Amino acid sequence: MIPLKHLSSHQPHSSPSLSWNGRYLAVIIQRGGKRMAVITDRLSGQIHPLSLPGNKYPIRISLSPDARQLAMELTGKGTSRIELFNLQTIIEPDEPIGIRGSTSLNQSQ
């Protein structure tokens, strides 16, 4: 088990998804009465909340292996749909080990 101290105050969590090397964790958190999707950078400890269109709420998320995109099922006003989010302006890619610029995280962090 890997502790994520910076997420402990935003419980419960659901739909976790990791990037290739485990640098990024996409997760749905509960903040007050509102569900939010966030990306947490395990290397820096930063949390990046994602802005959602309109009065939509996240149901499930799936992070691409390199963390460049996120697929999210959203619901609102009785409808549900899947949207893709480009994360390249928010976070740097998590390249597979051996690719220039990659940073791996071990299980002890």
- DSSP E strands in 1-109: the ranges are 13-18, 24-31, 34-41, 47-49, 57-63, 69-76, 79-86
Structure tokens at 102: 């990659």
How many whole angstroms separate alpha carbon 55 and alpha carbon 65? Answer: 28
pLDDT at 8: 53
* pLDDT digits 0-9 by tens, 65-80: 999 999 999 999 889 9
* pLDDT digits 0-9 by tens, 78-99: 899 999 999 999 999 998 876 5
Annotated domain spans of the chain: 11-86
* pLDDT digits 0-9 by tens, 13-60: 567 889 989 899 999 988 778 888 999 998 888 889 998 878 899 999
Per CATH, domain 11-86 is 2.40.128.660 = yes
